[in-house]
Amino acid sequence: MANQYAKTNRSVERAIALLTLVCQSDKPLGLTEIAREMALDKATALRLLSSLRNANFIQQDQDTRSYVRGPGIFSLWPNEISKISRPYLERLSRDTQETACLILPRGEAQRVCIDAVHPDRELRVVAPVGKLVPIYGGASGAVLLAFRAVEDAERILEKIGLEPITDQSLSDKEAFLSRLDKVRELGYAHGTGEVTKGTYAIAAPILDKAGFALGAIVLRGPDTRVTDDTITHGAALVLEMGKAISDDIDTTPPTTFTR
């Protein structure tokens, strides 16, 4: 029994050290480089990487097969990304007079709104901060799944299914995957009544250096106010805010990972 505990502790220590290595790196790391830096054989390194990837703490680029930190990291320290994003949420809400939200993934199966700024007007959408929603739900869900490795998105949908949240939600997997292709092309997603009836949403990703989504910035309002111009103007703003937050995160010292 003691030997089993020692083996488990060693695996945990190695996983933490490996996660720290990937998160502190200023560039994506390949399996060979990680194994060498960790003084591990490739099979052991790959097993640890797979566990961390399943937990959403790291992500793998489908083209280069290299590893970077994943959005799950910010679920451990949500205040860090919330603090960076807050001024941009305030600006987005002020410029549109609609609700601006910060959405983060929670594990593989869910997403959660961790911050929101509401306009000072009678008819508005009140964002349910802290409420868990299926990861694929709405415009923000489409963004979170579109801007990650394609095989990861397909694996997650295969694992958790695609139950419609409202009668305006997509429930066909192939149609949903086609939507993700369109989201990648446009850089943003929009939808009406997919999570809450009577509302619209426009979402853009907050990206890491490898182009993976750490979270999403979302503009929400009553669907009675949505027009083609609303989508065009709102999309330009959420794309601008998403890029600004992404740039700020990339230039923020990663003190989270060194303590």
Domain of 159, CATH number, reads: 3.30.450.40
Return d(Cα 137, Cα 120) in angstroms, integer: 27
Domain end (from 39, 69, 99): 69
The whole-model pTM stands at 0.76
Select the more confidently predicted residue: 183 or 159.
183
Provide the domain count of the chain: 2
Residues 87, 56 share a domain: no
Instruction: Give pLDDT, residue 24.
Output: 79
Residue 259 in any domain: the answer is: no
Residue 214: name the closest of 252, 173, 158 by CA: 252
Domain end (from 69, 92, 122): 69
Residues 10, 51 share a domain: yes
CATH code for position 8:
1.10.10.10
- Three-state DSSP at 57 gives coil
Other beta carbons within 10 angstroms of residue 33's beta carbon come to 16
Segment 91-104 shows an average pLDDT of: 96
Residues 236, 118 share a domain: yes
> In the predicted model, is pLDDT for residue 114 greater than 70?
yes
Residues 179, 152 share a domain: yes
Segment 4-31 shows an average pLDDT of: 80
Residue 256 in any domain: the answer is: no
pLDDT-based confidence at residue 252 (cuts at 50, 70, 90): low
Which single residue is written with the structure tokens 């943003």? 188
| Domain containing residue 27 | 2-69
Residue pLDDT, tens place only, 23-40: 878 788 999 999 999 989
Return d(Cα 11, Cα 25) in angstroms, integer: 21
Residues 122, 174 share a domain: yes
